[in-house]
Chains A and B, each alone.
Chain A
Amino acid sequence: MAWTISGVRIYVQEYGGDEEALIARLNPRGGGTILHWFGYSDPVVQIEALVLTQSDLDTLKTMKQGNTAYTIVSPEGGLGDWYVKKVGWSRESSTDHVFFDRPGVARDVPLYRVTLEVYPDV
Chain B
Amino acid sequence: MSKELYADISGMDDILSVSISSAHNAATSVATVKAKTSTIDIGDTLTIDLGYVSDFDTVFTGYVKLQELEDSEGTISISAQDELVRAVDYFITSSTPNNAFSRTNIEAEFLIRDLLALAGITNYDYDATSFTFATEGPLEVNLISSYDICKQITDILAWHLYADVNGQIHFVDRKPYIVGGDTASVSVDNTIILSASHSFDDEDLRNRVVVYGKGSVAATAQATSPFLPAGFFKSTVLATDLIDNQTNAQLAANFNLALLNRISETVTLQIEGDASIFARDIVHVEESFLGINDNYYAYAVEHSWGKDGFVTDLILVK
Seen from chain A, the residues whose Cβ lies within 8 Å of a Cβ on chain B are: 22-30, 34-39
Contacts and interface: CB of A to CB of B under 8 A. Distances in A.
Interface string B305-316: 011111100000
6 contacts: A26-B272, A28-B272, A29-B289, A34-B272, A36-B4, A37-B2
B1 interface: yes
Interface residues of B, number: 24
B5 A36 contact: yes
Given A36-B5, A37-B3, A28 B307 contact: no
Interface stretch (B22-30, B141-149, B191-199, B232-240): B191-199
Contacts of A28: 190-194, 272
Contacts of B190: 28-30
Q: Which 7 A-B pairs have the closest CB atoms?
A: A24-B309, A30-B190, A35-B2, A36-B309, A29-B190, A37-B2, A38-B307
Interface string B191-210: 11111100000000000000
Contacts of A38: 5, 306-307, 309
A29 B195 contact: yes
A25 B194 CA distance: 11
Contact of A26 (B4, B189, B194, B287): B194
A22 to B, nearest CB: 5
Nearest to B3: A36
Given A34-B3, A35-B3, A29 B287 contact: yes
Nearest to B192: A28
